Every structure is written in C-alpha cells, then in structure tokens.
Amino acid sequence: MARLTLANFRTPLKILDAVFRDGEDLKFLDVPGFPPILFLRDPELIREITVETSNNGDFERDTLPTQGIGRVVGSQNLLYLQGADWKEHKAAAVRPLGTRAVQTVEVFHDLEQTIYRVTDARLEQIADLVRASPTGAIERSLEPDIQELMLNLLVHVLFGADVPDDELRDRYLPAIRGVIRYILLDTLLNQFHLPVLRLPALTPGHARIQRDWATFEELVDRVIAARDDGHGFWPYLTINASPEAIRSNVRVFLAGALEATSSYLSWILVNLARNPTARQRAYEDVSQLTCLSPQSRQQATYLHQVMSESLRLNNSLYFLPRIALREATVATSRGSLTIPAGTHLVLATWHMNRCEDHWGTSATGYPASEFIPERWNPENLARHGRSSKDNLHFGFGHGPRVCIGKHFSEAEAFVCLAMFLRRFDFEATGDVAADSGISTRPADQVRLTLRLRPDPAFTPRPAT
C-alpha cells in the first residue's frame, strides 16, 4: 500500500490509497488553520451527498481541487457555475445532449461515418503491418489513436465543425495535450493564482504553454463558427448565452470531454484485452448486429455490461469534490453523520468501487477488484438483493450535477467498440497501473497485440 509522501502529490490516487489504507470508509482531517477535509468511500453517503448537491441542497461542487481548470477554461460554464446560473446552463444543455438528440439514427450514422473515416486509413496501414508480420500479429500503443478519434468525434459530430483530420491530429491535439498538462501543473503549483497565460513569456516552456493555449483558442473559434451554419448539435442549443459563456462551455466540452472519453474507451480495451472470455462474448454480441443504430445498441446487452463494469473498476473521474454549504446531517441505513459547515468533501468513488465490502463477493457474487461484466447481469444482481440504488458506480456522477455528456459518451463508445471488435482480435497480459491527473488512464498507453478478424468490418451507409 502506498505511503503518503511529497513525491506522490503528483499521483492523487496514491494519496487516496494512503487515506483508506486502514480499511475505514471515513477519514476526517482537521488541521488547525486549514478548512477541514472529509474523505469518504461509503456508497450510501456518496449517494445522499450527490443528491443533496446544488438545487438548494446542503452541498455544492467544490471548485478548490480543480482551480487550475477554472483558470484556463473560465468560470462561465456548466462545470463551474452554481445556483440559478448553473440551472439555466443545465436546462439549455439537456436538449442537445439528452437522449432525444443523441438517440437518433442521424447521430449514430455521423459517429459511424467519422470513426470509419478517421480509422480506415490507419487500419489499412495496421492491416498491412499485420499481414507482413510472420506471426500475423503486431503490438501497438493505442492511446494516441484513441485520443485522435475522440477529438475528431467531438469536433465533427458534436459541434459539426469542418476541421480536416490531419489538422486535428497534428496541430490541435498536441496543443490540447499541452494545455491539459499545464492545467495540472497550475493546480499544483500556482498557489498565488498568477495569470500565467497572460504574462509576458519568461522561459521557453512558458512560451510553449502560451502557444498551445493560442492554438486551442483557435480551435474553439472554429468550433463556434459552426454554430452559424447550424451543424452538429448546435441547433438544439437555444439559450441566449453571452459569447464568453459559450466559449467557456466549448473549452470544457473539448478539453474535459476529450480526457474523459479517451479514458473511458482506453480502460474498456485494456480490460477486455486481459479477459478472453469477456472479449469473445462481446465480439459475439456485436457480430450479430447487421447495422449500428439506436435499436441495435439495445440488443448488445453484454457489451453494455462490459461498459458498466469497466467504468466501475476504472472510473475516469476518480473522486467527486463537494463542499458543505452549511452544517448538514446525512442519514443512511447505518446511522447519521453530521458534517460541519465549510468542510471539503472528497467522495472517493474509485476506492468505493474497489472496496470488497461494497462491491465484493458477498455483495455482487464476484471479487470487487476483478473485471467481471457478468456482475451486471440483472439476474445476478437480483440474486444478491441489489436494487438500482445499490448499483451506482458514480462513473458519470449522480444527482443534479450528473454528467451532461453521459448519453453522448455511451453512444460514442458503443459505436467505437462495435467497429473495433468486428475488425480486431486483441490481447494483453499483466497488471496495468493507473495514472491519475485530471482523469485516470492506463499507464501502459493501451499497449495491445492486434490481429485481424476474418469477417468483414461494418461498412457504413453512404453519407447523406
């Protein structure tokens, strides 16, 4: 078990490992002169607190741990706003990102077209490499491919912007990676809240950060320009927000969503690569589909269990930050807890999901630390007396501040996985450590052995 040292302040998951190392679900840290911090991994408490967040509840999202993100993306967005302003933004975002918009044949078709276009040339290159290999297999780290694809889907499908694939890959993706690296550094080191992006460049590294930022802003401009043309999901967005609020939200939707969606897909592949039975079942699930559509998505029940299990075991956002606005008492079946006003709360969902007491053999039939999609089989859950309330893994959050991009991300991941599983068999061995920054990612950069499947991949319908 990791120790709490200065070195692991750059790897927050290790700090949380140290916090929970004695097996307790609650840790209250009250150092004189500092605001109190409550670390908790009890599912009922996490559920109650997320439900009582915003909407006049006793808790609000705590912006302290993510202040570096706020300094970069601005504060006029769905992630940072509170009270009536947050409600207005949330209501506006529900139309474009809710199921009615995402669950249309057009959106699935757009996802399919974009994935096919972005990956096809690459897949052909990979296929050539595989064919040339005497073993019929090659090894490849897929993380860069996944990030490129996720950015492409956000820019083309969500925002309907016309940015060539090679510009996204060679110009904008490296700039966003630079901005995300800077956000982490700024959160850790910029305790005086200096406006680093606006100060004259003092070092070559500082100049590089400013160049990355300017390039990122250029992409934001291009994405916003698509609004006038009525492409992507823009027509659903009827709110009359200020230009700064639109910019700020687009920054969150580009950089934050890129991080989270890449993490989600990366972990699913990493987990499937190490589980031949699950991989085979997932393949059989998608090989029965004749097309990719909202209806076919409903049929792929095992793939859904794979997606839930992967997000449980390896959630992208590994804790949810909250602050108690006033003294609050939270009741659960095990008793009640009174939390002092001003307490910072770390809802440690990664650790809750891996805790044997909450997700282990006696609760779900399988060890908590293992990737077993069958855990989500409705009959298995019923056998263990679990209701939908017990099955929350908080991978997309819960309550009023639940993720607005959930439906889009699930549809996107389904189409990506179906296309990938049809084309490739893949495997990997050994444990993979989790890196943690803004989100978690497999430390091995999704290194897989790839082989081609004999049957044809989905061929998308012609563009409309």
Site residues (vs ligand HEM, CB under 6 A): 61, 78-79, 90, 252-253, 256-257, 260-261, 264, 316-317, 320, 395-397, 401, 403-405, 408-409
Q: Of 209 and 307, which has the nearer Cβ to ligand HEM?
A: 307
Q: Of 252 and 372, which has the nearer Cβ to ligand HEM?
A: 252
Q: Of 97 and 126, which has the nearer Cβ to ligand HEM?
A: 97
Shortest separation between residue 63's beta carbon and ligand HEM, angstroms: 10
Shortest separation between residue 347's beta carbon and ligand HEM, angstroms: 8
Q: Of 130 and 232, which has the nearer Cβ to ligand HEM?
A: 232
Shortest separation between residue 315's beta carbon and ligand HEM, angstroms: 7
Q: Of 90 and 177, which has the nearer Cβ to ligand HEM?
A: 90
Q: Of 90 and 171, which has the nearer Cβ to ligand HEM?
A: 90
Q: Of 119 and 266, which has the nearer Cβ to ligand HEM?
A: 266
Shortest separation between residue 320's beta carbon and ligand HEM, angstroms: 4
Q: Of 282 and 403, which has the nearer Cβ to ligand HEM?
A: 403
Shortest separation between residue 394's beta carbon and ligand HEM, angstroms: 7
Q: Of 264 and 283, which has the nearer Cβ to ligand HEM?
A: 264
Shortest separation between residue 397's beta carbon and ligand HEM, angstroms: 3
Shortest separation between residue 284's beta carbon and ligand HEM, angstroms: 24
Shortest separation between residue 54's beta carbon and ligand HEM, angstroms: 7
Shortest separation between residue 74's beta carbon and ligand HEM, angstroms: 13
Nearest residue to ligand HEM, by Cβ distance, number only: 405
CA–CA separation, 139 vs 427, rounded Å? Answer: 9
Strands 59-61 and 320-324: antiparallel
